[in-house]
Structure formats: C-alpha cells, structure tokens
Structure 1
Amino acid sequence: MFRFAKAVAVALLVVCLAVPAFAGKVVLKLGHIAEPVHPYGQGADYFAKLVSEKSGGEMEVRVFPSSQLGGQKDLIEGLIYGTVDMALVGTAVLGQFQPQISIFDLPFLFKDRDHAYKSLDTVGMELGKALESKGIKLLGYMENGIRHMTNNVRPIKTPEDMNGLKIRVMTNKIYVEMVKSLGASPTPMAFGELYSALQQGTVDGQENPSAHIFTKRFFEVQKYASLTAHAYAPEPMVISMVAWNRLTPAQQDILKAAAAESIVWQRDLSTREDAEYWDKIKATGQIEVIEVDRDKFAEATRPVYKEFADVVGQDNIDKIEALKN
C-alpha cells in the first residue's frame, strides 16, 4: 500500500508540473501480457497501425507483447511513473488502483456481450475518469474474453465438484471470494507463473478465456475444461497521463479515434475467435470440454455481490442491471 501511495504521489507531482511536448516524431511504448496472436494482442497491433495511418506516420506505437515490459501490476506502476506510455491491462488488476472499476469482475454480471459493451462504454468510461488523478487515462475497453474453469482433478459440472480444489486466480479480492463461494481454495498468482504451476501441481486448476487456454497451451497441463462462463473479462486500454500531457490536442484526438475504431474491430475479432479457439482446444484431444448448469454457479456466487457492493457501488451495479433490456 505504501509503495502504491508513493507511486501516486510521484505521478501527481510529475503530471502537475509543466511537461514538455514530444520533440519530432511521437513514439509510444504499449505493453501487454498476451501472446501477439491473442485477440487483444492483435487489437494492440491494429491500434498501432491506425495511429500510424491517421497521423501520416508522425506518430508510432511500438507494441511489446508477452510481458516484455513486465506483468500487469508492473505495467500499471510504469504508467503512473511515466516509464510505460500505454498498456492493455485487466480490470482485475486495475481495480487495485481504482476499486470501483472492479465491478466488471463480479461473477455473472452481464446478460451477454452486447450488455457488456453497453455497460463498459457508459458506466465503465465514467468510472475510468477517477484514474486520471492517479496518473492514468482510460481510452476504452478491448476484450479479453469470457472466463471458464479448467482443472486436473475431476470434471466440474456443479459447484460441489469444485470443493477443495486449488484454483489459481489473479490478485483480486473479488476473484478470491468468488472461488471461495464455489467451495474451492483460491491461489493468487502472476499469469507468467501459471503454466509451470499447473504442470508441477502447485495448483489444480485455473480460470481464463479460451484464447489464453489455447495460446498459453494450458490444455497441455489440464484434463478438464468446464464452460462456466462465470465472468466477462474486459481489457482496458490506458495511457500514462505523463505521455498524454505531452501530446498536442490534435495528437490526443488521433489516439482517441484510433482507440475507438480498434476497440470495435477487436471485439468483433474476439467474438469470432472465441468459438474457433474452443474448436482448436477440442481438436487437441488433450482436454475434455464439459457443459455445466450455469444457473447453479450463478446462485452460488451471489453472496459476492453483497460483500463488494460498498466497494464497487450499489448504484453502479443498479446502472448495469438497468442496461440489460
């Protein structure tokens, strides 16, 4: 907590001081943890292409995938300090810096993808404004995907089947409590450590979208995948306020336009590739894919809402609920 407070203090000091504009060509570093072939990895590359086109080559976004600039918490702290210009990071980690944005990690929050998009583009953008005083500007939400459970011990068909399993989760209180509500033992762990932890039996299972299950080859070290669809995972596109304040208004407009266009493109790609990734996962023959009764899982996780209503704001939950129709 002290480390974060110190980071915010430094960032605020830097942002409040006169920040020199970029001299000559603008070059921005954008980091994320996914493989380049992941849908939001492709989205980052498409965004970079659009920025170059819209600026006539006067602006360049250099993308660093696969945790080359660090894990998600490293990226966020880099944004605050101004050592990282841009990033794609999960709300589960960003919520450590702006608690209300963790609302999007609540289990079974959305009716479908369209409901998610409406919520993110309205309530989500409003909540993102609070990040600016902490040194980060939200440009919009790409998509990580819909999360599902995998494990090595037994087929998971009901919440009772999760009893006693050690499940890796992100370092996020909502995910920890969600897994507890299902009877399993949550084990927070960095994404980069997950494959070896599954391989060595440090944890029994994990939860992620199909793109990560396939591109990170978790199917090689897991026996069962259960289609719980317990959470929708957005992937916020953010920029350091240090970098943002060095841009001219025209350059800022180029970034905002490129972000908006690339987000629409990436969401469409992610939706199409989700089904394709499940086909690829099944085709490996290395993991059994199991249908579940999602209503039972949703019911089991309802106490998580009561526990975090004060953190994320009951009014925000109500706003998102109202957008279902």
Structure 2
Amino acid sequence: MIRFASILGAGLMALSLATPTLAADVTLKLGHIAVPEHPYGKGADYFAKLVGEKSNGSIDVKVFPSSQLGGQKDLIEGMVFGAVDMALVGTAVLGQFQPQISIFDMPFLFDDREHAYKSLDTVGMDLGKSLEGRGLKLLGYMENGIRHLTNDVRPVKTPDDMADMKVRVMTNKVFVEMMKSLGASPTPMAFSELYSAMQQGTVDGQENPSAHIFTKRFYEVQKYASKTAHAYSPEPMLISMISWGKLNDEQKAIIQEAAKEAIDWQRQVSEEQDNEYWKEIKATGKMDVIEVDRSKFKEATAPVYEMFAETVGQDNIDKIKALSTK
C-alpha cells in the first residue's frame, strides 16, 4: 500500500507539472468613480463578466464603483504601486502622468464619435505606450461621453453669458484655460465634492456628459444645461504593470481580448444612452436644456490650441485632424 501510494503521489505530481497554465486563480480589483448605472460603469461590469467567461472562472475581476477605492488620482497612484490592479480614469487626470494624453481634453477636437474612435484607437494607443514606463498599461478607451455646461445662475447661450461664473473643472490645465477662454472662473475640484459644492453655492456650475448630469442628479442643484458639446471625454482602461507582470501569457491574452470586446460594447451603449439621458433630464422638469450655437464657443476656445500645442504635440493634433470623417 505504501509503495502504491508513493507511485500514485508521484503520478499526480507529474500530472500537475504537465498541466498547462492558467496556474492559479487570479483576483483583480478594478476601480472607477462612476455609479454602476453609468455607461462606463456598465462597461466595467461587462468586462468583468467577459473575463470570467473567457477564463472559465479562473480570473475574477471585482469591480469597485463610486470612488470606493478613491478618486481618479488615487486609482492611478494605486496602480503604479500595485495596490489597485485596474481602473477606468479620465484623460484629464491621466494627463498629469503623461501630458500628451491631455490632447483628448482639447476643446472641439473631434467632428463626431466616429472621428473620436478612430483617433483613440490609433493615436491614442500610440500615446499610451509611454505609460508602461510609468507603471501603467493602457488596454484601450471606453467612453465617458460628450461634455456640456450646467449652472444655477443664468441661461448660457453664448460665451458672454459665462462671465465671472464659477465653474468646477477637473484638476487639468487644459480645462482651466478652456474655461478662462470662455470668460468663466475655473475652480478645480474632485468629482466626489462636486454635488455638495453646487448645493452650497461654492461653485455656480460644472461641465460633464449627460450620464453624470443625470445619474449624479445634478438637475437637483442646477437650473440650466447648455448643450455646448465643448469636449469629448474618453475613459482610458488601465492595468497596473505590477499586476500585468504577475499574469501568464494566456491570462494576458484573455484580459486584452475581453477589454477590446467590452470597449466596443460600451461605446455603443454610451451613444444609445446619451439621448435617453437628455430625455430623462428634461422629464424631471427641474432643468432647462438649452441648444446653443457651438461655433461661438469653438471660436472663443481656439487660443487653447496655441497654449498647449507644444505640450500635447502639434504632430498629434495634425494626425487627429487627418483622421477627420468630414
């Protein structure tokens, strides 16, 4: 019996050594600041589902929405040091770590969503390669949405209406200068502090896509929404290089494949929900939605390109313009 058990044990050990990897179960923490109902919140959940299916359950992506793992800067720093495995963050914050990625925060950069997707999937991915030396790997770009202005002071139909208006912006130089060019007083502030700041009158307004305006119930503390569509907001999907280095080749392939599928799916969901969110906002009866002449806003923000051409790279601006669909 002893000899048989010994042979059986040796056989099982040999079998385990011969078994190809996926070697051990892997758990990855993915954080973001949106509510789960937000389009990129849904994209994160869909990505987690795909990874589970493609890995037969051997890779478990646990999603932490609503700033549970911290704000966007916290998430980025967490990935750099390996405390956070994955995150969805805005280019406005990521640009503090790789300045050229701030190109995607420039005003009126894209003609439409098709132009944005072409640019992100080419120029954007090229720019993302340099993040790897900073501890971050870019998997692709989900969509936050198209940004619009809201405020609680007056209807904004032209840049002149924004004079001296205190507008919350992300901690990003492009957004600060953009608001200055429109005559507003930019107030950098964390997203988690925004609702109470508007409620208390610390700021008069803010700018965000319709998804945040609706899901964060900004219509409760803001009277007016102006459809300026002044910027498009991608949502880079990142993984810590420390976490990436712990995965074998098969696991890496699963993550990349799931990311691509989830990004394609999420972009479609985001576009479909954008119109629905505006309908829901109007249906509340609490916020006036104003159509504006965007050309006046575009003209006013043109100097921002001269200010940041060197930072984001004039060659990158030219490459994006060459991808125009119009």
Specify the TM-score bucket, using the shorter chain as the normaliser. Answer: over 0.9
Please state whether the residue corresponding to 1:101 is helix, strand or coil.
helix
- Which residue matches 1:226? 226
Paired with 1:60 and 1:254, the residues of 2 have a C-alpha distance of 12
SS in 2 for 1:108: coil
1:44-65 CA deviation, whole Å, 9 max, x = no partner?
Answer: 0000000000001110100000
Conserved? CA contact 2:33–2:65, under 8 Å: yes
SS at match of 2:235: strand
Distance 1:234 1:70, change over 3 A: same
- SS where residue 37 of structure 2 aligns? coil
The percentage of aligned residue pairs carrying the same residue is 74
Instruction: Report the 3-state secondary structure (helix = DSSP H, G, I; strand = E; otherwise coil) of the residue aligned with 1:266.
Output: helix
| 3-state secondary structure, aligned to 1:123 | helix
Q: List aligned pairs for 1:308-323, cutoff 5 A.
A: 308-323=308-323
2:205 matched to 1:205?
yes
State the 1:22 CA deviation. 9.3
- Show structure 1 runs of 5+ residues with no match: 1-20
Equivalence for 1:42:
42
In structure 2, C-alpha distance between the alignment counterparts of 1:260 and 1:200, rounded to whole Å: 41
- One-letter amino acid of the counterpart of residue 317, structure 1: I
Q: What is the deviation of 1:23?
A: 6.6
Contact persistence 2:31–2:63 (CA under 8 A): yes
Post-superposition CA distance 1:246-277 (Å, at most 9, x none): 00011000000000000000000000000000
TM-score using structure 1 length: 0.93
Gap regions ≥5 residues in structure 2: 1-20
Aligned-partner SS, 2:50:
helix
Quote the residue 2:250 is aligned against: 250
* Mapped partners of 2:261, 2:22: distance in 1: 24
Contact 1:80-1:136 at 8 Å conserved across structures = yes
Distance (Å, rounded) in 2 between the aligned partners of 1:22 and 1:51: 13
In structure 2, the partner of 1:214 is: 214
Aligned residue for 1:111, secondary structure, equals: coil
Contact 2:22 2:58 (C-alpha < 8 Å) held by counterparts: no
Q: Give the aligned partner of residue 180 of structure 1.
A: 180
Q: Matched residues in 2 for 1:30 and 1:114: separation?
A: 27
Q: Partner of 1:109 in structure 2? A: 109
Structure 1 match to 2:298: 298
Contact 2:144 2:235 in 1 (8 A): yes
Find the aligned partners of 2:307 and 2:200 in 1 and give their Cα distance: 34
Partner of 1:147: 147
Let me know the Cα RMSD of the aligned residues: 0.9
Corresponding residue number in structure 2 for 1:66:
66
2:290 maps to a residue whose letter is I
Distance 1:240 1:103 in 2: 23
Q: Which amino acid is the alignment partner of residue 74 of structure 1?
A: D
Matches within 5 A, 1:155-170: 155-170=155-170
| CA distance in 2 between partners of 1:47 and 1:31 (Å) | 12
Which deviations, in whole Å up to 9, do the C-alpha atoms of 1:10-58 show, x marking residues without a partner? xxxxxxxxxxx99720100000000000000000000000000000111
Q: Is the 8 A contact 2:71 2:190 kept in 1?
A: yes
Contact 1:90 1:234 survives alignment (8 Å)? yes
Following the alignment from structure 1 to structure 2, what is the Cα–Cα distance between the partners of residues 129 and 34?
26
Task: Work out whether residues 22 and 251 of structure 2, in 8 Å CA contact, stay in contact via their aligned partners in 1.
Answer: no
Paired with 2:85 and 2:222, the residues of 1 have a C-alpha distance of 36
Give, as a single letter, the amino acid of the residue that structure 1 aligns with 2:176: V
One-letter amino acid of the counterpart of residue 178, structure 1: M
8 Å contact kept, 1:43–1:263: yes
Deviation per residue, 1:73-106 (Å, 9 max, x gap)? 0000000000000000000000000000000000
User: Which amino acid in 2 is paired with 1:41?
Assistant: G
Q: Does 1:83 align with 2:70?
A: no
Residue 13 of structure 1 corresponds to which residue in structure 2? Answer: none
Measure the CA separation in 1 of the matches of 2:97 and 2:67. Answer: 20
The equivalent of 1:260 in structure 2 is 260
1:251 match: secondary structure: helix
Q: Quote the Cα distance in structure 2 between the aligned partners of 1:202 and 1:193.
A: 10
Larger Rg, first or second structure (1 or 2): 2
Q: 8 Å contact 1:22–1:246 — kept in the other structure?
A: no
Number of residues paired by the alignment? 305
Q: What is the rounded CA distance, in whole Å, between the counterparts of 2:115 and 2:285 in structure 1?
A: 34
The answer (yes or no) to whether the contact 2:228–2:297 under 8 Å persists in 1 is: yes
